[in-house]
């Protein structure tokens, strides 16, 4: 359990406190990084760099509670992931034609496993996946996403819409009933 | 509505899923963090080290250039120096003869004595010409110079004649400054004072000459020199 005392000790460059923080949040950061970067080695690099930045910069901030500290750390991890994506030029805006919206029924939603969901998200193109993660999972606004990625809010909205559409399509394709119907 | 439910489930799953736990290796990531921190520590020291090395190199180069300047001052326009070089030339001719016949230690010593004699003779002649001004100081400096030349000549006698001639032309000298040079600032001050005095006289003369002319009263110098405070009425009447 992380307390403010541990955070303050880590702010004073105490290695033990820093290690406790890493043990507590490292896995969360790695999971977060893997949602953006499909390559686990690069995700590790992003986490390592983010943790280093957190330890370097945390003495400049004053935290009065743990949740804001967690949000601050997650934002750093997300920024590092975006940096890596931009460096690799993998973040590309997809230009696709408008597709009809797909509707996933309740049974399909109920039957979806965690692995399937993660797999579907990982298989999304990097641009779609990034905007979907930022908006739907991290809770950023379109203007924030536009600022982070250097795009317009309108582009962010359209990319999110297309990402959702593709995601639903792929989830429907996972449904055995749909697959059977398609084969027939 | 259905889609909202779907995305809520996706969000919950993404936040809590443990599908990546197999790839999670905390020690490897921690090692990367530590490596990064060490690198940072080194990169903090690096600019200081580079700066200190640059400073040391710069200082050594500066001292070297200073040393060279001191040692390689070329003789210019000094009668005393010319006389010493002349004496060295005499010494060189003796040296040449000596080296042709025999390079033994005895002859080199003889050459050394001869050179000393020639140099001192030249110095005495110069001193007779220049007088007794700064006698003690110049004597000491001359002795040092003569010794420098003698040493160079001694080694030249042992082998490299040409090199010795080249070396002897380059030596450390303290040329006594001419009285004219020392008086230059005084002369300049005197000239300046003289010029100012003449200008003042000119203004006064001009003032006296044109006192009755209205046009000159508008001149700045005329205003200054006229002391309008004392005779304002005169000025107004003339206007």
Task: Output B93 or A26, whichever has higher pLDDT.
Answer: A26
Question: What's the pLDDT tens digit per position in B152-191?
Answer: 455 545 445 444 445 555 555 565 555 555 668 888 899 9
Q: CA-CA distance, B38 to A49, in Å (whole number)?
A: 13
pLDDT of B197: 92
CB within 8 Å: A31 and B7: no
The lowest-confidence range among A95-109, B80-94, B147-161 is B147-161
Locate B125 and state its tokens: 């002649």
- The minimal CB distance from A118 to the residues B7, B11, B19 is found for B19
Mean pLDDT of B25-40: 86
Nearest to B110 by CA among B154, B77, B59: B154
- The minimal CB distance from B6 to the residues A19, A121, A168 is found for A168
List CB contacts (< 8 A) between A114 and chain B.
13, 16-19
- The yes-or-no verdict on residue A147 having pLDDT over 80 is yes
CB within 8 Å: B36 and A48: yes
CA angle B195, B198, B203 (to 5 degrees): 125
Question: What's the pLDDT tens digit per position in A100-142?
Answer: 566 777 777 777 788 888 888 888 888 888 999 899 888 899 9
Locate B46 and state its tokens: 């690096």
- The yes-or-no verdict on residue A19 having pLDDT over 50 is yes
Unique residue bearing structure tokens 């390592």: A48
Question: What's the pLDDT tens digit per position in A161-176?
Answer: 888 888 888 888 877 6
CB within 8 Å: A109 and B2: yes
Instruction: Report helix, strand or coil for B74.
Output: strand
CB within 8 Å: A103 and B13: no
Q: CA-CA distance, A41 to A44, in Å (whole number)?
A: 5
Q: CA-CA distance, B232 to A158, in Å (whole number)?
A: 90
CB within 8 Å: B10 and A117: yes
- The minimal CB distance from A31 to the residues B2, B20, B36 is found for B20
CA–CA min distance B42, chain A (Å): 15
- The yes-or-no verdict on residue B107 having pLDDT over 90 is no
- The yes-or-no verdict on residue B92 having pLDDT over 60 is no
The lowest-confidence range among A88-92, A168-172, B47-51, B147-151 is B147-151
- Report H helices in B2-78: 2-16, 26-71
CB within 8 Å: A44 and B25: yes
Chain B contacts in chain A segment 107-146 (CB below 8 A): 109, 112, 114-115, 117-118, 121, 133, 136-137
3-state SS, one letter per residue, for chain A: CCCHHHHHHHHCCCHHHHHHHHHHHHHHHHHHHHHHCCCHHHHHHHHHHHHHHHHHHHHHCCCCCHHHHHHHHHHHHHHHHHHHHHHCCCCCCCCCCCCCCCCCCHHHHHHCCHHHHHHHHHCCCHHHHHHHHHHHHCCCCHHHHHHHHCCCHHHHHHHHHHHHHHHHHHHHHHCHHHHHHHHC
- Partner B contacted by A70 (CB < 8 A): no
Residues of chain B in Cβ contact (below 8 Å) with chain A: 2-3, 5-7, 9-11, 13-21, 23-26, 28-30, 32-33, 36-37, 40
Q: How confident is the model at residue A47 (pLDDT cuts 50, 70, 90)?
A: very high
Element spanning B163, H or E: helix B161-168
CB within 8 Å: A137 and B15: yes
- Partner B contacted by A34 (CB < 8 A): yes
Nearest to A163 by CA among A116, A134, A138, A127: A127
The CA-based diameter of chain B, rounded to the nearest angstrom, is 120
List CB contacts (< 8 A) between A115 and chain B.
17, 19
pLDDT of B161: 47
Q: Could you tell me if the ipTM is greater than 0.85?
A: no
Question: What's the pLDDT tens digit per position in B189-219?
Answer: 999 999 999 988 888 776 666 555 555 555 5
Q: What is the mean pLDDT of chain A?
A: 84
């Amino acid at each position: 359990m992380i307390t403010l005392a541990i955070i303050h000790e880590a702010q004073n460059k105490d290695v033990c406190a820093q290690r406790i923080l890493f043990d507590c949040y490292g896995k969360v950061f790695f999971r977060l990084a893997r949602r953006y970067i499909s390559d686990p080695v690069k995700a590790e690099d992003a986490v390592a760099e983010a943790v280093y930045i957190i330890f370097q910069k945390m003495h400049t901030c004053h935290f009065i509670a743990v949740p804001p500290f967690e949000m601050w750390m997650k934002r750093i991890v997300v920024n590092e992931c975006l940096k890596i994506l931009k460096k690799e030029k993998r973040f590309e805006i997809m230009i696709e034609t408008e597709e009809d919206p797909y509707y996933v029924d309740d049974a399909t939603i109920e039957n979806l496993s965690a692995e399937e969901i993660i797999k579907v998200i990982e298989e999304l193109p990097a641009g779609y996946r990034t905007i979907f993660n930022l908006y739907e999972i991290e809770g950023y606004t379109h203007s924030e996403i536009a600022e982070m990625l250097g795009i317009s809010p309108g582009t962010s909205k359209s990319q999110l819409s297309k990402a959702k559409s593709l995601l639903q399509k792929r989830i429907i394709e996972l449904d055995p009933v749909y697959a059977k119907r398609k084969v027939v | 509505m259905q889609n909202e439910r779907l995305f809520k489930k996706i969000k919950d799953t993404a936040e809590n899923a443990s599908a990546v736990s197999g790839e999670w290796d905390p020690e490897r990531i921690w090692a990367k963090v530590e490596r990064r921190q060490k690198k940072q520590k080194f990169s903090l020291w690096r600019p200081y080290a580079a700066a200190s090395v640059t400073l040391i190199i710069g200082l050594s180069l500066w001292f070297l250039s200073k040393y060279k300047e001191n040692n390689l001052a070329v003789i210019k326009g000094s009668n005393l120096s010319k006389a010493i070089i002349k004496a060295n030339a005499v010494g060189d001719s003796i040296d040449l003869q000596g080296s042709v016949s025999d390079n033994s230690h005895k002859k080199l010593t003889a050459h050394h004595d001869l050179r000393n004699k020639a140099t001192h003779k030249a110095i005495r002649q110069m001193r007779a010409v220049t007088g007794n001004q700064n006698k003690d100081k110049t004597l000491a400096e001359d002795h040092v110079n003569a010794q420098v030349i003698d040493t160079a000549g001694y080694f030249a006698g042992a082998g490299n004649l040409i090199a010795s001639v080249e070396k002897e032309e380059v030596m450390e000298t303290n040329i006594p400054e001419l009285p004219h040079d020392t008086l230059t600032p005084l002369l300049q001050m005197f000239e300046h004072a003289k010029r100012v005095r003449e200008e003042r006289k000119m203004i006064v003369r001009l003032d006296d000459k044109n006192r009755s002319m209205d046009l000159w009263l508008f001149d700045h110098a005329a205003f200054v020199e006229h002391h309008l405070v004392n005779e304002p009425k005169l000025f107004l009447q003339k206007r």
